[in-house]
């Protein structure tokens, strides 16, 4: 009877996450980091992820709306608990001004994709041209042997067009990293203004040892 109870306990433990963390399910998060433009910062941020064995699905760096401040957009799949710790660790970097994390429904985001297709396939098969129009693609370069199309959208959309074009001579495909804007945010620019207009504290605390240097530092 004792062995049976132990077996039941063992089977029950298999169905729950380690440490009793129910609901610790990984999901997609977009991390937005505002930073000063300093050499080596990207490497240090990447190390934070690698030490925790977190795979970066997408990484984009660009200027922000504030002069001299850059913006990192990082996409990962992790649990809510891990992502909170990760963002706090990123904010500990001296050059990092602020970091946010959001789920897909809290942001507006796009990715850009380029497709190189056989020009003969495009001109001879009307079906391909119709499919490109349906996906909102536009020609940005037309050569004798190939044509390059551009489209923007979510990953499901850009990957869907890849599958459609493969039977018609898809030569090359490349996709950019994600760019995203937070829906409910008033913008980091407003927070920068708050820092600029914030007046210093009127209360001044003097160092009681300031005039006792000889006593403090004497051997």
Domain boundary among 79, 102, 125: 102
Q: What is the pLDDT of residues 73-85, one digit of tens each?
A: 999 999 999 999 9
pLDDT in the model for residue 169: 83
Mean per-residue pLDDT, 165-188? 87
Domain CATH number, residue 115:
3.30.70.1150
In a domain, 15, yes or no: no
Instruction: Give how many domains the chain has, as a whole number.
Output: 2
Domain that holds residue 151: 108-175
Top-confidence residue, 42 or 217 = 42
- One domain for residues 44 and 96: yes
The residue with tokens 């977190």 is: 54
pLDDT in the model for residue 21: 43
Q: What is the pLDDT of residues 69-121, one digit of tens each?
A: 899 999 999 999 999 999 999 999 888 999 999 999 999 999 999 999 998 88
Model confidence at 174, pLDDT cuts 50, 70, 90, reads very high
For residue 162, is pLDDT > 50?
yes
- One domain for residues 33 and 97: yes
Model confidence at 18, pLDDT cuts 50, 70, 90, reads very low
């Amino acid at each position: 009877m004792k062995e049976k109870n132990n077996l039941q306990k063992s089977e029950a433990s298999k169905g729950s996450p380690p440490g009793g963390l129910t609901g610790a399910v990984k999901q997609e998060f977009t991390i937005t980091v505002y930073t000063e433009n300093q050499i080596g910062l990207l490497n240090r941020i990447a190390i934070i992820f690698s030490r925790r064995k977190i795979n970066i699905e997408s990484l984009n760096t660009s200027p922000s709306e504030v002069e001299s401040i850059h913006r990192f957009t990082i996409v990962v799949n992790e649990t809510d608990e891990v992502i909170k710790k990760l963002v706090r660790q990123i904010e500990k970097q001296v050059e990092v001004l602020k970091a946010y994390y959001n789920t897909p429904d809290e942001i507006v985001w796009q990715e850009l994709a380029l497709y190189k297709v056989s020009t003969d396939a495009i001109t001879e098969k009307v079906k391909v041209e119709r499919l490109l129009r349906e996906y909102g693609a536009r020609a940005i370069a037309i050569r004798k042997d190939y044509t390059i199309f551009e489209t923007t959208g979510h990953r499901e959309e850009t990957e869907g067009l890849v599958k459609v074009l493969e039977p018609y001579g898809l030569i090359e495909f490349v996709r950019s990293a994600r760019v995203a804007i937070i829906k409910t945010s008033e913008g980091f620019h407003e927070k920068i203004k708050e820092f600029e207009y914030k007046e210093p504290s009127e209360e001044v605390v003097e160092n009681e040892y300031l005039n006792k240097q000889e006593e403090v530092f004497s051997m």
